[in-house]
Amino acid sequence: MKRAKRLFQINQTGILFLILLFTISCSSTPDEPYRTWTEYMGDPGSNSYSELSQINRENVDQLEVAWIFNSEDKDRIMWRKSISQANPIIIDGVMFFTSPAIHVIAIDAATGEFIWRFDPWDGEDGTGRSRGVMYWEDGDDKSILFTAGFYMYALNAETGDLISSFGENGKVDMRTGLERDPEDIHISVTSPGRVFKDLVIMGSTVTPAPGHIRAYNVRTGEIEWIFHTIPYPGEYGYETWGETAWLTAGGANNWAGMSIDREREMVFIPTASPDPAWYGGGDRIGKNLFGNSVVALDANTGERIWHYQIIRHDIWDWDLPAPPNLVTVERDGEQVDAVAQVTKHGFVFVLDRDTGEPLFPVEEKPVPDSYLLGEEAWPTQPFPIKPVPYTRQFISEDDLTDISPEANEYARSRFENLRYEGLFTPVGEQETLFFPGTQGGANWGGASFDPETGILYVNANEIGHIFSMRRVEQDLTEEVTVRERGAQLAGLNCMSCHSGSQSSNIPSLENIHENENLSLSHVENIIRTGVGMMPALPHLSDNERDAILTYLFELENGSEVFTDDRETEEERFRYVTDTSWEMFLDENEYPATKPPWGTLNAIDLNTGEMVWRVPLGEYSELTEQGVPVTGTYNLGGSIVTAGGLVFIGATRDEMIRAFDKESGEILWEYKLPAGGYATPSTYEIDGKQFIIIAATGGGFIGTDTGDAFIAFSLPD
């Protein structure tokens, strides 16, 4: 029975009082279910669904650009430029979103006219990514809450001014409250949290620290409660880690956002893998609760109600990538409220919303053991029987690319030298194939859900990744020059990502001193604080960090003898695990498996069956050569409407498309000025329906950057 319903088993006077109290408690956002877009992903249940139907199957081909707003800050982020993934929210005719440089901007939602902008960087270059903002109101008090860098800010929604009563002069340092030294912590928040009553519940990306969930007072910025995702002694799940993990381990965080059931007063939080992502020795021994889990908490107190762990002891970097959809499905003739969680390895787990019990059978199957010294892979993993997977779960030589004989030959020669044992193949010192890779099946765009039909729409990547690891035991007491030590440390800490290897759009460090966009001070700041997917490197001492900079920028002190500023003998010896990473591609950098490489999938959550599955995106140069549409690498989410449509950008070909939600047929498409790697929003102003998408390109897909936010509508 719903928790809220239990409250009503009292006398009639109590009923009237509680109805009033409940109405007030839910007034933190002005929701009109499925007709407004006042929260990230449209509603508290993250369903990205709209009842609006003015734009529909019959007229969607008439859509035209209503207005374009250019944020004019696309070059304010030096690495992975122009990476706005914002899902705009609309409050009383005003649209709020974050720009590529993570400025908060308010514009007129009907015309695109500028209202105000807030720059958290005080004119400096911003770093990171953002998917949007949060809104809270109580009477005349109206706040926009968002994060940039280490801080959460509260702004007056009407003026964009800082609210001085929140934290310290309008901002809260989110490094505090994790019970580690704040100066050693790098933290950022890509996805908005959820507002509940006078609380704002937040996750984060954090290194090297635990990803505890915290609820802040929306008025004062004070922490009201905390849930330990790496349990402390005496707490549930403590025994699933090494004894001192609560003091030393990191990760198990929520970077993907969350969903909230305000009636039940429950928040549903998907968590990421513990750190390090591909190696779980030492304090990572065990199942590692609450990593890779859906965790249901009491939104008032942070108390655990239930959890369901989807990956035991993750060594594949298969974070739960998106907020769960809060859905209602038919089971055995009854309507059951549920939680539907999509995953990177291509499954949907459908769980009872009150208990966390699976609504479809789940088998616990044996998986391969690890070959790494000190690693103990968990012997089994859960496999849902239904819903059916939306990505391939196994590939063989017969599944390698067939777009040309040359591509197939190259892929075969690569494949035969990889270690691959199917799903859950653990990484080793030999090059290892993960399929699906770490960026799909699903990713942060998640799924949209149609409550009228029970159908879930999820876009997916079917691209493998290749990993390998090496162990280095290095004596750091040997006498070397500053430049030599810098080269060693850059090799251990940087080159696995910044090697300029095939398929990587991460910049190479070669000749970095000649890059006019990357000053020494900027790179030093990145090493200290991190940027985007690159974590901070707080384990480096001051002299070690300076040595890396000396090596990269060929500074004059390179020939001097390196001075070790570590205090103890033990600190001067390290056992290092280094990881290399690349996509599994052919010689022309197309995916090395048979298409489709990107898909849009419609799954009936009542039956667990696939309704339709179509390629998402197109390489026009391949189509011109007679290759059927392949789908492309895609990042961003979909929305579904009562007008019979699914709207999605996300694709490498920089299109936004409308699909018939019943058949998967493309009914409309539009070439954006830059990739729409974000989830659209839809809303109505004065009887006119709009579709809005951030078209700013860049990011992991690496296409050209832009700064446009484009709204579409039907002709007057």
Average of per-residue pLDDT across 469-485? 73
Between the CA of residue 658 and those of 56, 81, 196, 635, what are the distances in Å? Answer: 10, 27, 33, 16
Query: What does the pLDDT read at residue 540?
Result: 75
CA distances from 236 to 108, 203, 296 (A): 48, 20, 14
Please report how many Cα atoms fall inside a 13 Å half-sphere around the Cα of residue 124, on the Cβ side: 10
Q: Band of the pLDDT at 502, cuts 50, 70, 90?
A: very low
Q: What mean pLDDT is reported for the chain?
A: 88
- For residue 184, pLDDT beyond 90: no
Q: In which order are the strands placed within the sheet that holds 681-685?
A: 64-70, 703-713, 688-698, 681-685
* pLDDT per position as a tens digit, 598-621: 999 999 999 999 999 999 999 999
Query: What percent of the chain lies above the pLDDT cut of 70?
Result: 87
> Of residues 268 and 285, which shows the higher confidence score?
268
Amino acid at 388: V
Average pLDDT over residues 36-55: 98
Q: What is the predicted pLDDT for the residue at 679? A: 98
Query: What are residue 37's phi and psi, to 5 degrees?
Result: -135, 70
**Cα–Cα distances in Å, from 229 out to 191, 214, 249, 298?**
18, 10, 11, 15
Q: Name the CATH superfamily for 478-568.
A: Cytochrome c-like domain (1.10.760.10)
**Angle between the N-to-C axes of helices 482-493 and 542-553, in degrees from 0 to 180, rounded to the nearest 10:** 100
Give the confidence band of 372 by pLDDT, cuts at 50, 70, 90. Answer: confident
Beta strand 638-641 with 49-50 is parallel
Triad 565, 571, 574: Cα angle to 5°:
120
Q: Kindly give the pairing relationship between strand 573-583 and strand 465-475.
A: antiparallel
Identify whether the C-beta of residue 316 lies closer than 8 Å to the C-beta of residue 310. Answer: no
Return the pLDDT at 565: 72
- Paired residues of 162 in beta bridges: 155
Enumerate residues 6+ apart whose C-beta is below 8 A from 162: 118, 153, 154, 155, 156, 169, 170, 171
Reported as a single tens digit per residue, the pLDDT across 665-686 is: 999 999 999 999 999 999 999 9
177 pLDDT above the threshold of 80: yes
Half-sphere exposure of 703 (CA within 13 A, CB side): 22
Res 505: pLDDT: 52
CB neighbour class for 540 (10 Å; exposed up to 12, middle 13-18, buried from 19): middle
Q: Answer yes or no: is pLDDT of 376 > 60.
A: yes
pLDDT of 503: 45
* Whole-number pLDDT of residue 419: 95
Task: State how far the Cα of 459 lies from the Cα of 443, in Å rounded to an integer.
Answer: 8
Residue 662 predicted with pLDDT over 90? yes
Q: Which two tokens stand for residue 390?
A: 């939306």
β-pairing, 199-202 with 205-207?
unpaired
For 309, residues 6+ apart whose C-beta sits below 8 A from its C-beta are: 287, 289, 290, 291, 292, 293, 382
* 558-574 as b/e: b if 16+ CB within 10 A: beeebebeeeeeeeeee
pLDDT score for 3: 39
- Count, residues in the chain: 716
Which residues make beta-bridge pairs with 270? 294
Both structure tokens of 343 = 């995953």
Full DSSP string of 45-113: T---EE---SS-TTTGGG-EEEEEEE-S-TTS-SSS-S-B----EEETTEEEEE-TT--EEEEETTT--
pTM of the model: 0.87
Is the link from the previous residue into 441 a cis peptide, with omega within 30 of 0? yes
Q: Lowest-confidence range among 33-37, 77-81, 213-217, 539-543? A: 77-81
The per-type count for the chain, helices as H runs and strands as E runs, is: 8, 41
C-alpha to C-alpha distances, 368 to 38, 371, 399, 654, nearest whole angstrom: 45, 9, 21, 39
Phi then psi dihedrals of residue 17, to 5 deg:
-65, -45
pLDDT of residue 448: 98
Q: How far is CA 395 from CA 253, 291, 402, 584, in A?
A: 31, 27, 14, 12
Q: Give pLDDT, residue 288.
A: 96
Domain boundary assignment for the chain: 478-568
CA torsion angle 368 372 378 384 (round to 10): -40
pLDDT digits (tens, 9 = 90+) for 405-436: 999 999 999 999 999 999 999 988 889 999 99
Q: At what angle do helices 520-529 and 542-553 cross, to 10 degrees?
A: 140
Percent share of the chain, pLDDT over 90: 69
* pLDDT at residue 4 in the model: 39
Asked whether residue 77 carries a pLDDT value surpassing 70, the answer given is no
Can you give the pLDDT at residue 477? 61
In 10 A of CB 139, how many CB atoms? 6
Mean of pLDDT values over 180-198: 92
Residue 500 has pLDDT above 80, yes or no: no
The count of other CB atoms within 10 Å of the CB of residue 684 is: 17
The confidence score (pLDDT) of residue 8 equals 32
Res 488: pLDDT: 80
